Amino acid sequence: MGVFQQPARKTRRVMSIPGRLLTTAMAVMPHRDVERALEAALSLDIPFWPQLPRYSYHEDMYVQASEHFPGIVLDLGKQTLRFAYDKFLQELEEAMAHFDEPDYFDIGDSYSVVYRRFLELDLSTRPAIRGQLEGPISFGLNVKDQDDRPILFDDTVRPFMIEFMAKRVNTQLNRLKRLNANAFMYVDEPGLQFLFSAMAGYSDQAGKHDMEVFFSMIERPRGVHLCGNPDWDFLLEADLDLLSFDAYTRGELLIRYAGQIQRFLERGGVLGWGIVPTGTAELTREGVESLAGRLEAQWDYMCGQGIDRERIVRQGMLAPATCCLVNRDGAVTVERAFALVRAVSEILRERYGLY
């Protein structure tokens, strides 16, 4: 296991993530039909390999991230993911023996029905492709030990977990780059909205330092996706290439950080605007013009704070606001949201001369 170093100073980045209001989406999808899910993912400008927890518990985003992690107790029948410290100590040596083997950190066939198939596609003509993995904060908060305590709070397990997850991100990114030079990763971190609240055993300063260390371990391009309301100041100042967020319900909160957004964009960062809702009730109330107008209203505010509109649109992507597994119509609403994202992209790309 490596020795943690202080994060490097931020430098100007060369932007390899295409913006220009191209479309992508969150990978967690409600589909039980593998081909239909892959077809939907490929319908967007920047495709990804879908995660299908309704198809198998192995496809749950936390379970996928847990593959080969020492100490994991996975019960497929009960659909539970736990951690046992004694088991961690027993399996740690085996894990360390594979620490310099990239294939050990890849997604195994039993943990995704679609990942290998995605890798077999010719995606070289796409503007980019994308992968994803659960980040260490969310993983560490969600997975609990024999005392029902999140492993994030364990000072022995946490440093290993951070490096382990960084290796998993890098392995997947390098696999995807063989298919498309502009491949990039989402580090899914829904738990970041809880990180800087009062949590016993883990201070906000420790959390920020650990996230900075984690980011510094990940190869570029590196980005974070989340749907909640985290410490935007911290994320916008972090050494990231991409920040993807729920612009439909959280956008008006984020844009208040105009100075930090300006610096983020000036460093070459890309913002992923999740503007199309994926819940059935919300989606039925919206259309192309209403969503385009909602997004442009947020951009108008940013322009009023001195941020250049051309920079906003050229360094922006569009996506659904969130993933959604709870709609009663299964995949129907989510696929409608994908179609609406494409339509909003088309009208705005034409409006801003991005074709």
Q: Which residues make Cβ contacts (< 8 Å) with residue 37, sequence separation at least 6?
A: 29, 31, 50, 52, 114, 331
Give the N- to C-terminal CA distance of the chain in Å, as an integer. 47
Confirm whether 141 is domain-assigned. Answer: yes
Rounded Cα–Cα distance for residues 114 and 47 (Å):
13
Q: So what's the pLDDT on residue 200? A: 52
Confirm whether 250 is domain-assigned. Answer: yes
Hunting for tokens 């909602």 — which residue is that?
294
Respond yes or no on whether the N-terminal peptide bond of residue 221 is cis (omega within 30° of 0): yes
Which pair of structure tokens corresponds to residue 282?
Answer: 């919300």
Mean pLDDT by 10 residues, the chain (355 residues): 41 68 97 96 98 96 97 96 97 96 95 96 97 95 95 94 97 97 94 67 78 93 89 90 95 94 96 97 96 98 96 97 93 97 98 90
Q: How far is CA 320 from the centre of its chain?
A: 13
Number of domains in the chain: 1
Confirm whether 184 is domain-assigned. Answer: yes
- Enclosing domain of residue 213: 22-351
Q: So what's the pLDDT on residue 227? A: 86
Confirm whether 166 is domain-assigned. Answer: yes
CATH of the domain at 244: 3.20.20
Q: So what's the pLDDT on residue 196? A: 59
Q: So what's the pLDDT on residue 192? A: 82
Q: So what's the pLDDT on residue 199? A: 57
Q: So what's the pLDDT on residue 75? A: 96
Q: So what's the pLDDT on residue 12? A: 44
- Check residue 151 and report its DSSP letter: G
- Size (the chain), residues: 355
Confirm whether 152 is domain-assigned. Answer: yes
Which pair of structure tokens corresponds to residue 313?
Answer: 């649109």
Confirm whether 143 is domain-assigned. Answer: yes
Rounded Cα–Cα distance for residues 166 and 291 (Å):
36
Q: So what's the pLDDT on residue 7? A: 43
Confirm whether 17 is domain-assigned. Answer: no
Confirm whether 3 is domain-assigned. Answer: no
